[in-house]
Structure 1
């Protein structure tokens, strides 16, 4: 009888913490599920899929185009949802995707953010594979520079430092002018700027883009610099794909 009681207490604590975190986000637009269903035309247009959920295109009543990420139902969803909304709600930068609002009704968890016409960087690379190498290098340089500026803002420009932990081409979106914006903060972690080495209970990221210190502490401790390692890794992989 002791073991069930333990799990009940643990679940109550977890839910209470989530409610506390969401309460801090009340200035953001909180959409009801029926509202989201209406402005996405019953989730008719899929614009992307990822490990955490599916992204749909929508149109707000005021005419703005938006992207709606519907998170999958998994054990980590509560944490993923809190991480992404909490992180994005604290940002305002040209190279960071802008959060518009969210929906949290029962098991339904959705994030509403600005719609970017050119999709993700990996899609753009595939679509423009036939472009001249010289032209592509100039464009790629500007994109990578924008991503670096976005990371610098997350690490040094926010009141609370944000470590992304999943920098890769799929999580870099491009607007109509090919301005890059870092997106998908499901694995992000908030920490104080004075923190140097971070304590993590799990390995975060995508194989092929993970910083070496995330795999083995022989390479040093995990810190905000791990995002820079990921940036360098995906720059190399992106360039080699040409």
Structure 2
């Protein structure tokens, strides 16, 4: 009896191991088959195709790591021309290949001053990499996490310029392309800054493209980063999913730039409440919003923060129908052409925009 059991185990273990290897290899091949099929079907891609050997050479053996996340790792590289680039190595866990396809589909076809430029890509059976323009000032996130007196502090004029640039980039994605592109992950970490602090929207791994003739997009699961995800992506009963999801994320990004998100809720009994609801309750109780360093602001800076605050509140309304389109935000250029009233928000132009 014991001998028979031992024999079954000895025979079974190699069988199970072989089955696992077969399944992993099949999944791996199907991933790259999907990528290969995608690349063969594209005849209008602008980026350059690199081999993995090229990628290793341009990064000098992945010597200088710039960052790491759920997508994989990013390294600094240099092209033969001497131009600096950022090389994103996609993690193997990412892929049915969709993140790679999303990135190449979007940034590989478009060019805009506020969208990060995809220089090239690598897909050679075992490795996927994306090569972007290098952004020497890193992401917006590091400028928002530091203290106001720190070396990375930004003036309010610079913050306003960055905000306008991000708005222009999103508006281009929504209306300036042959296909409407929804980013679904607008947040400070995904806003990169060049040497002149011009913002570039990056990381299109969650992006979805669809026809300009269609106003509603179908997705099977919520996508994005907690704290920036539009409520309709979590609860479909709130409203249909559309480009207004990016508008919501843009509004939350503004709240982060204003330090309102962390300053208002931190250390309060309402810290677990859904943030927009907390804001509305705050106004209903006739309380003012206080910017972190409001007492030190000059007249012009106060005007900037007020405009940014109002636009942020305009964009994070619960019902997506009540939010403006990014083109409306750009048309107004942050002018206060709507009212905040006790009990809610309204505007004669936002409805149906």
TM-score normalised over the length of structure 2: 0.62
Tell me if the contact between 1:90 and 1:158 (Cα under 8 Å) persists in the aligned partners.
no
Q: 1:230 aligns with which of 215, 230, 249?
A: 249
Residue 324 of structure 2 is matched in structure 1 by none
Mapping of residues 97-112 of structure 1, within 5 Å: 97-112=116-131
Equivalent residue in structure 2 for 1:46, among 52, 58, 65: 65
- Is 1:197 aligned to residue 216 of structure 2? yes
Cα drift, residue 135 of structure 1? 6.1
Is the 8 Å Cα contact of residues 116 and 174 (structure 1) preserved in structure 2?
yes
Shift of 1:93: 0.4
Whether 1:159 and 2:159 are equivalent positions in the alignment is no
Find the counterpart in structure 2 of residue 136 from structure 1: 155
Unpaired segments ≥5 residues, structure 1: 1-8
Consecutive aligned runs of 4 or more in structure 1 exceeding 4 Å deviation: 9-17
**2:113 is equivalent to residue 94 of structure 1:** yes
Aligned counterpart, 2:38: 21
Task: Tell me the CA shift for residue 33 of structure 1.
Answer: 0.5
| 1:127-150 deviation line (CA, Å, top 9, x unaligned) | 563169x96322111111100000
- 1:182 pairs with one of 192, 195, 201: 201
Pair 147,50 (structure 1): closer, same or farther in 2 beyond 3 Å: same
Question: What does 1:3-18 correspond to in 2, within 5 Å?
Answer: 17-18=34-35
Q: Is the 8 A contact 2:29 2:125 kept in 1?
A: no
**Alignment counterpart, residue 78 of structure 1, candidates 85, 97, 101:** 97
Superposed displacement of residue 28, structure 1? 2.6
TM-score by length of 1: 0.89
Choose 1 or 2 for highest CA Rg: 2
Aligned to 2:18: none
**C-alpha deviation, 1:215, in angstroms:** 0.7
The question of whether the paired residues in 1 share the 8 Å contact of 2:135 and 2:193 is answered with yes
Question: Cα offset for 1:84?
Answer: 0.7
8 Å Cα contact 2:77/2:85 also seen in 1: yes
- The higher-RCO structure (CA 8 Å, 6+ apart) is 1
Post-superposition Cα deviations, 1:195-229, rounded to whole Å, max 9, x if no partner, equal: 11111011110011101111111221111111111
Gaps of 5+ in 2: 1-25, 263-291, 293-353
